[in-house]
């Protein structure tokens, strides 16, 4: 589908869209259909009845849908505060601050906390929201090679020697959203300790899936003065929003300075209530995580002979390479009833377009078997070969 819009004022935009079409990078919105192999609803909470039943009761109890204003004006609701109190206790953090989404939370942290003269070191594969936050940051930023603690060490050593008094920030994800691999968390934490750095840790895809009570892969770092941890609520928690778990002073500073927090309508109190329900489910239903892990292990066994890269979790990429071929295979999978999406540049590096397969409790072993059969046929077809 390559729509053309004959509007002279938008010539630049039309040319841009056409160029995207030519390289198979033009995006379109379409609704999910078929078996769910692309959703981050890892524990099946978004589609299940438990959170919606609790939300129904909350509506009956007059918990509002809209907050009506910024948290600093009329929008601060008891549901937000209850959620933050419960989240801080659950994650064993000093405090917690709830945002409308993880994108805003990452932007808020990076545009607000690092100051002039500081330095941000970030993993090469960090999420777009962190990149956008760094663009607004008051200090410089430098990348280190993905998961490469030697590279990180070399860079922070040089910088710290020249800047003994400024703050150094290290950004990484614990479970990478497009590759499904894990960060060397303890090695980075040791370096942060040695060189007196503050870590900004994105647990978007690990929260709910890994760690004690699903608290994530960096749960043991909660409560430390040098750790700011992001838990998004729209993935395994099946809701919406994001919880920053952070030192008290960082929360206070964000409430006073973060424009994404101050100049934005507070998230829905009803959804805050739903996130509270999700936290309780994570705590009392370990069987969901166990079932998910068993399904991930099964998927790894069945899909790795087809080229899937598996690190033992729910995100399983199959690197195809060229964008057009990846799009064609994804479209054929969709036609065959599997909701699988092609991930192309700029989300991933040029030449590494991929099918991103997500395992969740919304599918079962038979679905994985059927996917493998279809995928095998498609991958062996001449027309999809580069």
**Which positions lie near ligand PLP, rule CB under 6 A?**
101-103, 106, 127, 129, 173, 177, 202, 204-205, 232, 234, 242
Report in angstroms how near the CB of residue 367 gets to ligand PLP at its nearest. Answer: 23
Report in angstroms how near the CB of residue 245 gets to ligand PLP at its nearest. Answer: 14
With tokens 């991958």, the residue in question is 379
The answer to whether residue 202 is catalytic is: yes
C-alpha–C-alpha distance, residues 65 and 72, integer Å: 18
CB of 38 or CB of 332, closer to ligand PLP: 38
CB of 94 or CB of 232, closer to ligand PLP: 232
Catalytic residue among 36, 38, 39, 40: 40
C-alpha–C-alpha distance, residues 100 and 242, integer Å: 6
With tokens 């899936």, the residue in question is 209
Report in angstroms how near the CB of residue 373 gets to ligand PLP at its nearest. Answer: 30
Reply yes or no: is the peptide bond before residue 346 cis, omega within 30 of 0: yes
CB of 36 or CB of 129, closer to ligand PLP: 129
CB of 235 or CB of 324, closer to ligand PLP: 235
The answer to whether residue 205 is catalytic is: yes
CB of 233 or CB of 333, closer to ligand PLP: 233
Q: Give the residue from 106, 97, 165 showing the smallest Cα distance to 134.
A: 106
CB of 98 or CB of 103, closer to ligand PLP: 103
Report in angstroms how near the CB of residue 271 gets to ligand PLP at its nearest. Answer: 12
With tokens 């087809």, the residue in question is 306
Report in angstroms how near the CB of residue 230 gets to ligand PLP at its nearest. Answer: 7
Catalytic residue among 84, 118, 123, 173: 173
- The closest residue (CB) to ligand PLP is 102
Catalytic residue among 205, 251, 260, 324: 205
The answer to whether residue 78 is catalytic is: no
Report in angstroms how near the CB of residue 282 gets to ligand PLP at its nearest. Answer: 17
Catalytic residue among 95, 106, 129, 177: 177
**Count of residues making up the chain:** 386
Q: Locate 360 and state its tokens.
A: 């969740």
The answer to whether residue 268 is catalytic is: no
SS3 369: helix
Catalytic residue among 179, 181, 202, 203: 202
Report which secondary-structure segment, H or E, holds 88.
helix 78-91
Q: Locate 56 and state its tokens.
A: 């129904």
Buried b or exposed e, range 292-302, using 16+ CB within 10 angstroms: bbebbeebbeb
CA dihedral 256, 258, 262, 263 (to 10 degrees): 150
CB of 91 or CB of 103, closer to ligand PLP: 103
Q: Give the residue from 226, 236, 228, 178 showing the smallest Cα distance to 204.
A: 236
C-alpha–C-alpha distance, residues 40 and 118, integer Å: 34
Report in angstroms how near the CB of residue 266 gets to ligand PLP at its nearest. Answer: 16
The answer to whether residue 96 is catalytic is: no
Q: What is the DSSP letter of 39?
A: -
Provide Rg for the chain, Cα atoms: 22
The three-point CA angle 309-310-312 to 5° equals 170
Reply yes or no: is the peptide bond before residue 58 cis, omega within 30 of 0: no
Catalytic residues, by residue number, are 40, 127, 173, 177, 202, 205, 235
């Amino acid at each position: 589908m390559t729509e053309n819009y004959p509007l002279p004022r938008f010539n630049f935009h039309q040319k841009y869209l056409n160029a995207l079409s030519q390289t198979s990078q033009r995006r379109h919105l379409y609704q999910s259909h078929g078996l769910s192999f692309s959703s981050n609803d890892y524990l099946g909470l978004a589609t299940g009845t438990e959170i919606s039943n609790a939300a129904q009761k909350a509506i009956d109890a007059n918990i509002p849908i809209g907050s009506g204003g910024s948290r600093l004006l009329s929008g601060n609701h008891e549901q937000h505060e209850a959620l933050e109190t419960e989240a801080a206790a659950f994650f064993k953090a000093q405090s917690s601050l709830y945002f409308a989404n993880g994108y805003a939370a990452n932007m808020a942290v990076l545009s607000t906390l690092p100051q002039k003269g500081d330095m941000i070191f970030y993993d090469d594969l960090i999420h777009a929201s962190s990149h956008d936050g760094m663009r607004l940051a008051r200090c410089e930023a430098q990348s280190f090679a993905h998961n490469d603690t030697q590279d990180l060490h070399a860079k922070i050593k040089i910088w710290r020697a020249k800047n003994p008094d400024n703050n150094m920030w290290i950004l990484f994800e614990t479970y990478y959203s497009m590759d499904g691999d894990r960060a060397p968390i303890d090695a980075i934490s040791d370096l942060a300790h040695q060189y007196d750095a503050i870590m900004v840790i994105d647990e978007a895809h690990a929260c709910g899936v890994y760690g004690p009570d699903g608290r994530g892969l960096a749960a043991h770092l909660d409560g430390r003065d040098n750790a700011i941890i992001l838990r998004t609520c729209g993935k395994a928690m099946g809701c919406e929003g994001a919880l920053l778990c952070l030192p008290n002073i960082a929360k206070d500073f964000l409430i006073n300075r973060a424009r994404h927090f101050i100049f934005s309508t507070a998230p829905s109190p009803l959804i805050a209530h739903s996130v509270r329900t999700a936290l309780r489910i994570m705590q009392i239903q370990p069987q969901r995580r166990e079932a998910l892990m068993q399904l991930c292990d099964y998927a790894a066994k069945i899909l790795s002979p087809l080229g899937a890269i598996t690190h033992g979790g729910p995100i399983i990429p199959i690197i195809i390479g060229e964008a057009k071929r990846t799009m064609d295979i994804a479209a054929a999978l969709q036609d065959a009833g599997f909701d699988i999406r092609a991930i192309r540049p700029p989300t991933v590096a040029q030449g590494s377009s991929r099918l991103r397969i997500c395992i969740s409790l919304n599918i079962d072993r038979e679905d994985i078997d059927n996917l493998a059969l279809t995928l095998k046929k498609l991958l062996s077809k001449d027309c999809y070969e580069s």
